[in-house]
């Protein structure tokens, strides 16, 4: 028996299992070795088994006889997300841990990486991700198809969920500050399966997680089969839509400001062409420029106010102007094409050009000018 260390904060490793009899003993023994190497935390291990019909529970119970800090809860199989939710709740109720560590049971995650997680957490990082897609990482057993699917799935989560600063949103190997975790509303996503991983990342970042990614080697599953199903893939797509809706406040504000910008553009153009005698070719650029300035002021102090970072006001204005300049150039050229080649009415051409520019503007400003603070990466 290993006596629990007194007066140390607790870190709990939560490991979901289902039919992992061929893998779980090796994984647990590796975690125990890591536990002995960590001096600043009491490391608990919680197995969350979904009533595996194989010998998973029997093997875990046998190991529990020798190690006090290995525990197990069981329940009906619903999915990975449900297992993690139960595990988090149990760990927090029983041990009030400072850290929650997510980890797979199938041998694809090297428990020794936990020794990298701990000092980063002690230095204030609230979300530490074992990443497969940053410099120094490796996925030696990924087929080209699996790599494509993983990268494409991450692309969807990063840019639809507003967490584009993170390279690996679906990694199952993470260390999370428990206080931050308790602030998250995971019920919003109703993610019972594998989409829980990406939903959790979005929710943690939404709640202000100070995050970092560390490179890992993603090993080959030694025994058994992946539990990913068609239902999980469908749930993933549904949750992506929910995430996009959840993060739509910025876009809604952007559209409101855009309407104001259209009004500035239109009124300026209309006044200059109808009352000042300007030609459309001269009036349109000035109208666009005035709308750019009014839009920047509104976006800076309202639309993206929550994204303020170390970038100076002048720098943001220059970036905004570059994005707007590119969009305005497209707008203007499109406008000329419509009135001089297709001979459409000038006002209709103006609105069509504005529509094209709006799409380009939001993408550029959201991802560059007012982008969220970039997270650290450890190489």
CA distance 8 to 46: 18
Helix, strand or coil, per DSSP, at residue 97:
coil
Phi, psi (degrees; rounded to nearest 5) at 217: -95, 120
Give the Cβ contact number of residue 197 at 10 Å.
22
- pLDDT value, residue 59: 96
- The span from the CA of 352 to the CA of 357, in Å, is 9
Give the C-alpha separation, 18 to 259, whole Å. 53
Q: Report CA Rg, the chain.
A: 26
Report if pTM > 0.85: no
Check if the beta carbon of residue 51 is closer than 8 Å to that of residue 20.
no
User: What's the CA gap between 248 and 206, in Å, rounded?
Assistant: 12
| CATH architecture of the domain with range 10-246 | Alpha-Beta Complex (3.90)
pLDDT at 56: 95
The Cα–Cα gap between 20 and 59 comes to: 10
Q: Count CB-CB contacts under 10 A for residue 315.
A: 11
pLDDT of residue 120: 96
The rounded distance, in Å, linking the Cα atoms of 48 and 109 is: 17
Q: What pLDDT does residue 367 have?
A: 75
Q: What is the pLDDT of residue 278?
A: 94
CA distance 85 to 44: 17
Alpha carbon separation from 295 to 249, 263, 283, 289, 329 (Å, rounded): 17, 11, 18, 10, 17
Q: CB of 98 within 8 A of CB of 159? A: no
Q: Among 30, 84, 25, which residue's Cα sits nearest to residue 58?
A: 25
Please state, in angstroms and rounded to a whole number, the distance separating the CA atoms of residues 171 and 131.
Answer: 6
- Answer whether 67's CB lies under 8 Å from 141's CB: no
Sheet holding 211-215, edge to edge: 70-74, 42-49, 10-17, 99-102, 174-177, 127-131, 211-215, 376-377
Between CA 202 and CA 88 the distance in angstroms is: 17
CA 375, distance to chain mean position in Å, is: 11
pLDDT tens sequence for the chain (379 residues)? 334 456 899 999 999 999 999 999 999 999 999 999 999 999 999 999 999 999 999 999 999 999 999 999 999 988 888 899 999 999 999 999 999 999 999 888 999 999 999 999 999 999 999 999 999 998 887 888 778 778 877 887 887 677 888 999 989 999 999 999 999 877 766 666 678 888 898 889 888 999 999 999 988 766 545 555 556 556 666 666 666 656 567 777 888 888 888 899 999 999 999 999 999 989 998 998 898 889 899 988 888 887 766 678 888 888 988 988 888 788 888 888 888 877 778 887 887 777 777 767 777 887 788 876 554 545 4
Residue among 140, 117, 141, 119 at smallest CA distance from 129: 117
Residues of the chain with CATH 3.90.550.10: 10-246
pLDDT of residue 17: 94
């Amino acid at each position: 028996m290993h006596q629990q260390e007194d007066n140390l904060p607790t870190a709990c490793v939560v490991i979901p299992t289902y039919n992992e009899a061929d893998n779980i003993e090796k994984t647990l023994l590796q975690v125990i070795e890591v536990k002995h190497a960590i001096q600043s935390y009491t490391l608990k291990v919680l197995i969350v088994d979904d009533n595996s019909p194989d010998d998973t529970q029997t093997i875990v119970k046998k190991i529990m006889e020798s190690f006090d800090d290995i525990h197990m809860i069981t329940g009906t199989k619903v999915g990975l997300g449900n297992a993690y939710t139960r595990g988090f709740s149990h760990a927090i109720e029983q041990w009030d841990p400072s850290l929650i560590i997510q980890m797979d049971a199938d041998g694809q995650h090297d428990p020794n990486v936990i020794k990298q997680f701990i000092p980063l957490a002690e230095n204030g990082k609230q979300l530490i991700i074992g990443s497969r897609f940053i410099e120094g990482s490796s996925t030696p057993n990924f087929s080209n198809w699996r790599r494509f699917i993983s990268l494409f799935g991450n692309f969807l989560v990063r840019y639809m969920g507003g967490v584009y600063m993170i390279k690996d949103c679906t990694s199952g190997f993470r260390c999370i500050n428990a206080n931050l975790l308790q602030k998250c509303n995971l019920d919003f996503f109703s993610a019972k399966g594998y989409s829980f991983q990406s939903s959790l990342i979005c929710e943690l970042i939404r709640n202000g997680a100070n995050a970092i990614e560390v490179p890992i080697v993603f090993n080959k599953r030694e025994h058994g089969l992946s539990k990913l199903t068609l239902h999980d893939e469908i749930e993933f797509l549904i949750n992506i839509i929910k995430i996009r809706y959840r993060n739509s406040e910025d876009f809604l504000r952007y559209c409101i400001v855009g309407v104001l910008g259209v009004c500035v553009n239109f009124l300026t153009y209309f006044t200059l062409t109808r009352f000042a005698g300007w030609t459309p070719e001269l009036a349109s650029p000035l109208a666009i420029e005035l709308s750019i300035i009014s839009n920047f002021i509104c976006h800076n102090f309202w639309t993206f106010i929550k994204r303020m970072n170390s970038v100076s006001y002048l720098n943001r204005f220059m970036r905004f102007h570059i994005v707007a300049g590119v969009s305005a150039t497209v707008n203007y050229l499109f406008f000329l094409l419509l009135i001089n080649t297709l001979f459409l009415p000038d006002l209709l051409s103006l609105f069509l050009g504005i529509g094209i520019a709006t799409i380009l503007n939001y993408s550029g400003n959201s991802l560059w000018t007012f982008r969220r603070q970039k997270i650290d990466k450890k190489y």
